[in-house]
Structure formats: C-alpha cells, structure tokens
Amino acid sequence: MQGLLTVIKPGPLSTLQDAGRVGVRHLGISQGGPADLQAWGWANWLLGNNWGSPTLEITLGGLTLVAEQRCHLALCGADMQPQVNGQPLTNNQAFTLAAGDELQLGMAKCGVRAYLAVAGGFIAKPVLGSVACVMRDQLGGHLGDGSKLAVGDTLAFASSAFSSSHVADFIPRRQLPVGALPHYEQAATLMMIPGAQFRFFDDLSLIQAFNQPWRVDPRSDRMGIRLQGPMLHCNIGSLISEGLTLGAVQVPPSGQPIILLNDRQTIGGYPRLGTLTPLACARLAQCQPGQKVRLGTCTASQAQAQYREFRATLKGSHAL
C-alpha cells in the first residue's frame, strides 16, 4: 500500500532528488542530486530516513500539495513561509499532515531551495541506480524521464510513512541542533581547493579573486552559478577538455567564474581556479541573485575533514 501527495501548484522548479547518480560520468551523464546537500540531509535526518532517501527539492517556492493519506514530513532549507491549511508552519522541522490537509509554500523569502522529505522517502523507479532528476539528461524524477512536477502529478510514499507508530512516536521530539539552523541572509565565504591551473592566473587576478566580493549572477541554475566581479585572467591559451567535478570553478574568456553544480556537463576545457568543497557548494546553492559571496582557500584534507564532520553530526545528533 502506498500513500500519495497530489500536486496542486508545482512552483517554477520542483524535482525529486536522492543522493545522486554515481559511476556514470564516463557515459556523459550528470550526477544530479540535491544542490544543497546540508538542507537535504537534515530534512531526512528529522524523519530518521537513511542517507540517500529521495526528497523533493523546491526551487524558489510556489508549491502546493494535498495529502491523500496521513503522512509525516519534514521541511528544511530556504524560508518559503510554509503554511498548512492557511496556518503558518515553522521551517526546519518535522510535521504531520492528515488526509485532505494542504501544504502551501510561498516564494522564497530567504535562500533559494527547500527540501521536503517524507518518512521512509518518496517512491520512484530508479534510472541507472538513482531517482535523481536531471532535466537536461531526461533521467530520473518522479516519472523517470527527468520531468519536474506539474499540476495533477502525484508523489508516492510507503505506507509505513503514515501507519508506523514508531515514526509517529519520535517525530514530535526531533529538532535540528542550534548550530545546524541556516542563516542564508548572511554573506557567505566559499572555501575552495586550488586547482592545477591556479598558478597560471596572474597575480592581480589572484589578489582580486580572494580579496574582493563577488555577486551571484541571475543567470544561474542547477548546472552552474555565475559570479559577477573582477575580471580574472589566465595565461593558458587553450586546454584539452578534462573531467569536471562538483564545485569546479571554471573561468571562461569573459573572466567571470562559473561554479559548476550537480547538473553540470561532464567535461570542459576552460581553465579552473579550483574546486569548491561540497559544503561550500551547498551554501552557494542557497544564495539569491545579487547576493554577495567571497572566496577562500583550503586544502583537500581540510575539505574532507569538514565533510566527514557533517556526516558524523547527522549520525550523532539526537532528539532534543
């Protein structure tokens, strides 16, 4: 038996995302997955879901869903002024919808992306080992073809999400640790691991890159986020295309960096200043157009330690 949530309003871009599609980049296929790994992870944690459980990623807001059966949900990430049946709902917490209840999200007031998890995770047929929706590749998502949500679509979840007394017992008690609550309105410092072409950027470019603020360009999406600021110059004329990782900071001839995210292309030939850490990518994914960010540097071992600490925090955090 499955439960259903019916889409009344889909918003500009709402897609199903699990941890992403791994081991397929040699086929030219993007990884997908949550743009904000932290908010996605905490939404699942609030419900006791396993790492990788599919959630709904809502970009900019405007989503309205109706519960066809009782279900336990959690909402984390951007503040979209959520309401249940017209009554305000606190963000970054777990809650329950009864059959017929309506969840409404307004447009993002702070941040860009919110994550809606259901106890046990949403159900969809995996494509190449993942349900992550990548619209460009026409893979994954709730229909398996890379579609974003549309009016009248339904999202399935396991019957245990509304029948398990165990789930009902712990949901009211689990809250995000104080240190995990986001502050998307604040200027972000994005930590970057310098890359192989770092030393080929001229001295002035490197000084400006790390000592002046950048602004998020409105021309940004799940493939990449453009930054507006000082023009960077690399002394390499051309490069053979090479594999691109999450967070790669490419610098095209315009001199304005493009930071590649989950739905990026798999190879590219622009010089790279470096690579943002996974948690820096998550923070960047919540920056609205025009918002200021700064770049900083770290080592690969520091980035790994930061990521391990985040994963350990998810495992070690307990209900308050």
pLDDT in tens, 173-229: 678 988 888 999 998 999 999 999 999 999 999 999 999 999 999 999 999 999 999
What percent of the chain clears pLDDT 70, i.e. is strictly above it? 94
Contact call for residues 175 and 319 (beta carbons, < 8 A): yes
- How far is C-alpha 118 from the chain's CA centre? 17
The torsion angles phi and psi of 197, rounded to 5 degrees, stand at -95, 5
Tally Cβ neighbours within 10 Å of residue 66: 17
- Consecutive H or E run containing 302: helix 300-316
d(CA 243, CA 193): 16
d(CA 36, CA 163): 30
Helices (H), 120-230: 160-163, 165-170, 203-211
Domain 188-316 CATH superfamily = Cyclophilin-like (2.40.100.10)
The torsion angles phi and psi of 249, rounded to 5 degrees, stand at -100, 90
Return residue ranges of the chain for CATH 2.40.100.10.
188-316
Mean pLDDT of 303-307: 97
- Global confidence as pTM: 0.94
Contact call for residues 232 and 251 (beta carbons, < 8 A): yes
